[in-house]
């Protein structure tokens, strides 16, 4: 369980080091104490997901060899419930809707990075609600199982 004063662990899927730094600066501006790690390939992202627990993933939509949707698919393949936010310089409304349908939680335009902090805050709260709901459902399943055995 994450402590309130622990830094936010942010996995940034981005081919541009400058854009990753801008995202990190925006998070700091929004009040987050964060530790960011940048990846830009399937292999480096897969390794990062296996070796560390992350609080949020921020992914560029379009990169030369690895896309935001590829990154999203990798998170889904590993069955991780992480807030996943697409960040892009150019994304059409249709593309953004498709990304959301694929499981992205939000998208932010690179020229509107001030939205990143509030989007992450909202998605972290939503992720915590999903975790609480899963724990409650698991408790209910155990209680039902115990009740059935006791009969």
- Confidence band, pLDDT 50/70/90 cuts, at residue 94: confident
Radius of gyration of the chain (CA): 17
**Comparing C-alpha atoms, which of 57, 54, 52 is closest to residue 70?**
57
Average pLDDT estimate for 17-37: 95
Average pLDDT estimate for 100-119: 90
**pLDDT number for residue 4:** 54
Helix (H, G, I), strand (E, B) or coil at 85: strand
DSSP structure class, residue 8: E
- pLDDT tens readout for residues 43-92: 999 999 999 999 999 999 888 888 899 999 999 999 998 999 999 887 77
User: What mean pLDDT value characterizes the chain?
Assistant: 89
> Any idea which fold 8-125 has?
Rossmann fold (3.40.50)
Q: Where are the domains of the chain?
A: 8-125
**pLDDT number for residue 5:** 67
């Amino acid at each position: 369980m994450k402590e309130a004063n622990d830094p936010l662990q942010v996995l940034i899927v981005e081919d541009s080091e400058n854009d990753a730094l801008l995202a990190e600066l925006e998070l700091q501006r929004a009040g987050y104490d964060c530790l960011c790690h940048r990846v830009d390939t399937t292999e480096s992202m897969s390794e990062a997901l296996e070796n560390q627990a992350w609080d949020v993933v921020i992914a560029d939509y379009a990169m030369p060899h690895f896309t935001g949707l590829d990154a999203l698919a990798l998170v889904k393949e590993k069955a991780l419930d992480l807030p996943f936010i697409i960040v892009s310089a150019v994304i059409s409304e249709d593309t953004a809707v498709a990304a959301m349908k694929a499981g992205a939680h939000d998208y932010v335009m690179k020229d509107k990075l001030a939205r990143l902090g509030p989007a992450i805050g909202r998605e972290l709260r939503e992720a915590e609600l999903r975790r609480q709901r899963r724990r409650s459902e698991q408790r209910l399943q155990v209680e039902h199982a115990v009740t059935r055995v006791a009969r």
